[in-house]
Structure 1
């Protein structure tokens, strides 16, 4: 399947006039990373309650389990990536965790409560977004929602601004051991035109990219987690370079402003 995905992306890029320098893959599928647990590469340790909207998501299926991140957008909805929910039979949601294994609250939810975007395509990484309907949770200093961007901001590329990604993804490409502390990294948003120079036509209007410098990036285990700017959720962690997370190549996120209508129609949540 990975070979097929690479082939499709290559053909699409050439036909669209792009000659990509790299191939994009979901962090969950990255062969450069042997484990689905760890932390953001070369990031900073989060303080207690610094990211109350961040949740950990432990997915299970008949073929195995994996770890992703997600964002609380209301007391009954979590937003994450479609490549995280795909194939899962259930998820355990970890609320209020800074130390990953010490959640303030855990809720187990079956796949019947997943709302995966019907247009998600693993071959092109498009529409990589899902909602999870959750039991109602009480907001506290450790557990709280993050606001969605205003409709008016849909016209902004956010290029040049510094956003914050957080998660428990791998600390390096070679690391295979889990870390306990939530990590974060400040990353500069770049234009889609610049990102296309690396990944070609996989970069569409539904994607937002950040630059990776000094080996700071999202990585395996960060999938589905938040990219926040000025207290608003602007991205959902979607893909990195197939060559690894420390290559100083852009990292890609699902652009939340492109899916505000979809989120509202499926969950009723809007701002």
Structure 2
């Protein structure tokens, strides 16, 4: 019921702005393994072991009978970065580290609500400030568990327009899928100007704190990928985390929207001490 209410609030807000219905890219549980040989982020590829050691999976308990699945990234030995819409109603979260097969992590922690830091100005209606942090026990790095790099704090930042990025996660592999993938998948994408993204969602939704990518040939993030990392191919630096798309489908060709990490570096440092 809570999942339905969250979707209803977001969809109602989008209709009020006369834009395509926004869908936060998480998915309800229970989830079943996608056993097909080509399981992937829509039109992406299957990840190899240790290819994305910063990738984190989140099994989120929302109530007695309701839960959801999201992605996240490891940004230090004891902090995880994800989307606020994934964690804002969480009662507890199981954090999966070092997994390529979703159900077989190297390390798994259960954290309580008190370990979650949701951005104080997160807006459920517009998904503005869609970012949160999760504190976990200090974790040793291995070949399969490593922190992603964040941009260095600066007075000015690149827009990254035109840069190639890679998104990863266990999200739905097609618009017809009804469960997240059991295999970690990834897709190469290209960052587009916010003005182009706003033609789909309007400037009321797309803010400077968002970053968007094109989704050619139906290649995109999808439900279940929420909170997962968007990383520059050239440098391995995380510049976004999966936030929302349009309701008419992950393969419909609309831009996919992310939370822009450079807009929140000071907030991350203030809450975790992590900076570059």
Whether TM exceeds 0.5 here: the answer is yes
Q: Find the counterpart in structure 2 of residue 16 from structure 1.
A: none
The reply on whether 1:231 has 2:236 as its aligned counterpart is yes
CA distance in 1, matches of 2:91, 2:156: 33
CA distance in 1, matches of 2:155, 2:48: 29
Change (3 A) 1:153 1:138: farther
The alignment covers a number of residue pairs equal to 262
Please report how far the alpha carbon of residue 243 of structure 1 lies from its aligned counterpart in structure 2 after TM superposition: 0.8
What is the SS of the residue equivalent to 1:214?
helix
1:70-122 per-position Cα deviation (integer Å, ceiling 9, x unaligned): 10000010000000002111111111101111111111111110000011111
Q: Find the counterpart in structure 1 of residue 22 from structure 2.
A: 24
Q: Find the counterpart in structure 1 of residue 136 from structure 2.
A: 134
Please report how far the alpha carbon of residue 154 of structure 1 lies from its aligned counterpart in structure 2 after TM superposition: 4.5
Show structure 1 runs of 4+ deviating over 3 A: 1-11, 34-39
CA distance in 2, matches of 1:181, 1:37: 8
Please report how far the alpha carbon of residue 5 of structure 1 lies from its aligned counterpart in structure 2 after TM superposition: 3.8
Q: TM-score, normalised by structure 2?
A: 0.89
Change (3 A) 1:29 1:105: closer
Whether the 8 Å contact between 1:82 and 1:130 is mirrored in structure 2 is: yes
Say which is worse superposed, 150-159 or 226-235, in terms of deviation: 150-159
Of 84, 97, 100, the match for 1:95: 97
Change (3 A) 1:29 1:66: closer
Name which structure has the greater RCO, CA cutoff 8 Å, separation 6+.
1
Q: Find the counterpart in structure 2 of residue 269 from structure 1.
A: 274
Please report how far the alpha carbon of residue 7 of structure 1 lies from its aligned counterpart in structure 2 after TM superposition: 4.7
Please report how far the alpha carbon of residue 153 of structure 1 lies from its aligned counterpart in structure 2 after TM superposition: 8.1
CA RMSD in angstroms, aligned pairs only = 2.1
Change (3 A) 1:254 1:179: same
Of 219, 222, 225, the match for 2:222: 219
The reply on whether 1:244 has 2:249 as its aligned counterpart is yes
Q: Which runs of 5+ in 1 are unaligned?
A: 14-18
Please report how far the alpha carbon of residue 177 of structure 1 lies from its aligned counterpart in structure 2 after TM superposition: 3.7
Whether the 8 Å contact between 1:28 and 1:36 is mirrored in structure 2 is: no
Please report how far the alpha carbon of residue 178 of structure 1 lies from its aligned counterpart in structure 2 after TM superposition: 4.0
Q: Find the counterpart in structure 2 of residue 53 from structure 1.
A: 54
1:9-64 per-position Cα deviation (integer Å, ceiling 9, x unaligned): 455x5xxxxx74x232202279xxx9697651111000110000001111112241
